[in-house]
Amino acid sequence: MYKKAQGISMNMIIIAAIALLVLVITSIIFIGRMSGTTASIESCTNKAGMCGVVCGSEDAGTANYPFQYNEFKCPDASDGTPQQCCLQLQI
């Protein structure tokens, strides 16, 4: 009446460890690529906008882009001045 208990074989433990390692590496790669995608999605130029110091100004080159929209991101100007996203009125 003595039953021998079966344990997890060494092969199963190795396969599980490799599968876990692959899952972790895949997650790290996916999360790393998500940050680049998020920045791309929030970019003003990808939303048909134009980055400028002042919206609607001929001096700033944004005469055709009179509306300021703060949700999209713009890099700072070469002199360090923050730029804003300027959008056109499209009907």
Mean per-residue pLDDT for 46-74? 83
Residue 53: partners with Cβ closer than 8 Å, 6 or more residues away: 60, 77, 81, 82, 83, 84
Asked if the model's pLDDT at residue 2 lies above 90, the reply is no
The gap from C-alpha 68 to its chain's centroid, in whole angstroms, comes to 22
Per-residue pLDDT, 36: 65
pLDDT digit string (tens) for 8-54?
788 999 999 999 999 999 998 888 777 666 666 778 877 778 888 88
* Strand-pair partners of 86: 50, 68
Mean per-residue pLDDT for 64-86? 86
Domain ranges, ordered by start, for the chain: 10-87
pTM to 2 decimals? 0.51
**DSSP letter string, the chain:** -PPPPP---HHHHHHHHHHHHHHHHHHHHHHHHHHHHHHHHTBSGGGT-EEESSTT-TTTT-TT--EEETTSB-PPPTTS---EEEE----
